[in-house]
Structure 1
Amino acid sequence: MKILVIGGSGTIGKKVVKFLKQKHEVLIGGRNSGDVKIDLEDIHSIEKALSSISELDAIVNISGEAKWDKFDNLTEDDFYIGIKSKLMGQVNLVRIGNKFLNKGGSFTLTTGILADDPVDMTTSAAMVNGAINSFVKAVALELENHRINVVSAGLVEDAFEKYKDYFPGHDPVPMQKVINGYVKSIEGKINGEIIKVNA
């Protein structure tokens, strides 16, 4: 398969890319680095990037931002960071990518544990994750030629030291389990699933 992994240079992305490259042709997409320049906050960038790749079998997104802060500190603009980046960025990736993906191809999006198990200062991030999970379940009913799933992992072991103080009592999720979640979506036949990956 020919697979585009957006965010393929990140903590999770680089491990997913390394694993997929054993069997597939993998292109890395990123705002500032990678094989393909793509900014999910810019629909023209998405269109330009996808139109430059021929015969694409899978689009995987492992990127997106949201503001972490106390609810009382969050402004409307702070909420729009996550809405524009992680929510509409992924929605637009599917909306535009639907025109470029090979018949039978798949989308794999990314959310996280915060949709189901939020922690302090994650109101905005949890909201966006929950919205994407619902989007995937609904849009799967309408995509005639493509599959779509979303991987929702807990705190991954490679980021545990950095974020453990935000997630008291959470067990780190082994990276191989996270990788397997993406492989399940890409190489399997499931559709409209929230693939939950926990420790």
Structure 2
Amino acid sequence: MRIVVIGATGTIGAPLADALAADHDIVRASRRGAVRVDLADPGSIEAMFTTVGNIDGVIAVAGSGRLAGISDSSDEEYFTGLDSKYLGQMRLVRQAARRVNDGGFVTITSGVVPSTEAGLSFAAAVNAGLDGFVPAAAAEMPRGIRVNSVSPGWISETLESIGRDGTAGTPVAEVVAAYLQLIDGTTNGQVLHP
């Protein structure tokens, strides 16, 4: 299959694209790569699909956002990720409905957020919204195109990179395995929690 991986230079995207490359033709897309896309820019999503042409699937693992509390951040800081992670992935699914080959797939990324960790209320809302979007969007997709999501919590390697205990997260290899599980088969409208 010919598959676009958006966020192919990131913590999850790079090893995912490498794992897929063994059996598939992979197009690596990112904000600064050879194939450029910024999910916050609707025109960029459309341009990416035009650039890549004929594809069987698209996986979005592009992350965004930062910790920002309700009362101690500006609106700009708090709502970081609305255009890219939330609306951007919904726009991606809508574009894929017209661009991905019959019987293809779209896999997006939400996330599990600890409900008691300060600074994650916006991320919790975005991820819950995406998790609700996936089964509804899957029911509306034409031509047998499947829509699923992977919803990881903290990634062990990310926690370690910010000086926290990596054992509190999920190893990236386990998260990559969840994406791989959704490539083949008939799974549709599901949210996997690795």
TM-score w.r.t. length of structure 2: 0.91
What is the one-letter code of the residue matched to 1:6? Answer: I
Partner of 1:131: 129
Contact 2:97 2:142 in 1 (8 A): no
Q: Higher mean Cα deviation, 170-179 or 5-14?
A: 170-179
Cα drift, residue 82 of structure 1? 1.8
Partner of 1:47: 46
Cα drift, residue 129 of structure 1? 0.9
Contact 2:156 2:166 in 1 (8 A): no
Cα drift, residue 160 of structure 1? 2.7
Contact 2:111 2:151 in 1 (8 A): yes
The Cα offsets for residues 57-91 of structure 1, whole Å up to 9 and x where unpaired, read as 11000013124122212333334322111100101
* Residue 195 in structure 1 maps to residue 192 in structure 2: yes
The Cα offsets for residues 91-140 of structure 1, whole Å up to 9 and x where unpaired, read as 111111211100011000011111x6452211111111111111112111
Aligned length: 193
What is the one-letter code of the residue matched to 2:23? Answer: K
Describe the shift of the 1:72–1:180 C-alpha distance in structure 2 as closer, same or farther (beyond 3 A).
same
Gapped regions of structure 1 (runs ≥ 5): none
Partner of 2:182: 185
Describe the shift of the 1:32–1:99 C-alpha distance in structure 2 as closer, same or farther (beyond 3 A).
same
The within-5 A match list for 1:1-199 is 1-33=1-33, 35-114=34-113, 117=115, 119-145=117-143, 146-163=145-162, 165=164, 171-197=168-194
Contact 1:66 1:124 in 2 (8 A): no
What is the one-letter code of the residue matched to 1:187? Answer: D
RMSD value, Cα: 1.9
Describe the shift of the 1:143–1:118 C-alpha distance in structure 2 as closer, same or farther (beyond 3 A).
farther
What is the one-letter code of the residue matched to 1:44? Answer: G
Aligned mates of 1:20, 1:189 — CA distance in 2: 18
Cα drift, residue 164 of structure 1? 6.0
Aligned mates of 1:195, 1:17 — CA distance in 2: 19
Cα drift, residue 25 of structure 1? 0.5
TM-score w.r.t. length of structure 1: 0.89
What is the one-letter code of the residue matched to 1:126? Answer: A
Cα drift, residue 169 of structure 1? 9.5
Cα drift, residue 187 of structure 1? 1.8
Cα drift, residue 54 of structure 1? 2.3
Contact 1:148 1:191 in 2 (8 A): yes
- Percent identity between the two aligned chains: 30
Cα drift, residue 171 of structure 1? 2.8
The Cα offsets for residues 11-49 of structure 1, whole Å up to 9 and x where unpaired, read as 11111011001100101111112x311111111111111
Aligned mates of 1:5, 1:188 — CA distance in 2: 18
Gapped regions of structure 2 (runs ≥ 5): none
